[in-house]
Amino acid sequence: MDGPLGLAVMARDFGLKGPRGWAFRGISADAEPGSLIAVEGPSGSGRTRLLLASMSRRALAAGASARRIALAGWLPVVAIGVPQTLALMSVLHWALGLQMARAAGTVGFLCLVTACFAAIVQWLNARFGAAGRILVLALLMLQLTSAGGTYPVQTGPGFLNALRRLITGGGLGPVWQACAVLAAFTAGALALTALSARRRQVWTVDRLHPELSP
């Protein structure tokens, strides 16, 4: 057969509207079979949200399993975050000379942190729509404040010292505790996302109105 296999994709005036307004709108694109499309834009312009919607509308309309929808939105983000974590730690080690007592454990722990954060962000977007982006920014600011060294390490909960134990050495008790906490938050966020997906599979006139309006 001549030419690449696959289907052509055409989008006209594509947009995503939440309860508080448009996340993006007026996007048109054509993808021929076998072609690659690159999305360019400044940081914070919504490129990731465009490519990785928190939940697939087609899957919602088709009545797919809520758990499958949640995983389908979470796994691609984790697949992007894990290589970013590896790249960051490679720069810290090879370029800046960071020596880790347990390198594999440090990287694995940070990958778990990435998966947990991605699950929480997905739930906030799935549950609150456009307002979820504001909540994500608030969560980021809270994390930056907590990680900025503005409090004595000795006064914090033990599981917050897990990363320090992995880098500098020491007992692994706080590490296992932190892993359990992160796993619990990840599972909880995915469960809440699945619950949001199940609720959104019930279509109402109010939800259909933005799609029918010009």
pLDDT tens for each residue of the chain, 214 residues long: 455 555 666 766 766 665 556 666 777 777 777 676 666 766 655 555 555 554 555 555 555 677 888 888 899 889 999 999 999 999 999 999 999 999 999 999 999 999 999 999 999 888 887 788 788 888 888 777 666 555 666 666 666 678 888 988 888 888 998 999 999 999 999 999 999 887 776 655 555 554 444 4
Residue 161 in domain: yes
Please check whether residues 70 and 124 belong to one and the same domain: yes
pLDDT at 101: 92
- pLDDT score recorded for residue 188: 96
What pLDDT does 54 receive? 47
Would residue 18 count as lying in a domain?
Answer: yes
Residue 186 in domain: yes
Alpha carbon 55 to its chain centroid, in Å, reads 11
Q: Say how many domains are in the chain.
A: 2
Question: What does the alpha-carbon distance between residue 155 and residue 149 come to, in Å, rounded to a whole number?
Answer: 12
**Backbone φ/ψ region at 156: left (φ over 0), alpha (ψ -120 to 50), beta:** beta
212 part of a folded domain: no
pLDDT of residue 107: 94
Q: Are residues 77 and 35 in the same domain?
A: no
- Residues 129, 81, single domain; the answer is yes
Q: State the residue for tokens 């966020």.
A: 189
Q: Is residue 208 domain-resident?
A: no
Question: Is there a single domain that holds both residue 108 and residue 169?
Answer: yes
Same domain, 126 and 190: yes
pLDDT given at position 185 = 95
Q: Do 121 and 32 share a structural domain?
A: no
Q: Which domain holds residue 30?
A: 1-46
Q: Is residue 79 part of a domain?
A: yes
| Domain shared by 82 and 147, yes or no | yes
Q: For residue 1, what pLDDT is reported?
A: 46
In a domain, 92, yes or no: yes
28 and 110, same domain (yes or no): no
Q: Does 41 share its domain with 62?
A: no
Per-residue pLDDT reduced to its tens digit, 63-73:
567 788 888 88
What pLDDT, on the 0 to 100 scale, is given for residue 53? 52
**Pair (40, 63) in one structural domain:** no
pTM: 0.67
Do 101 and 166 have their domain in common? yes
| Domain-located, residue 195 | yes
Are 60 and 154 members of one domain? yes
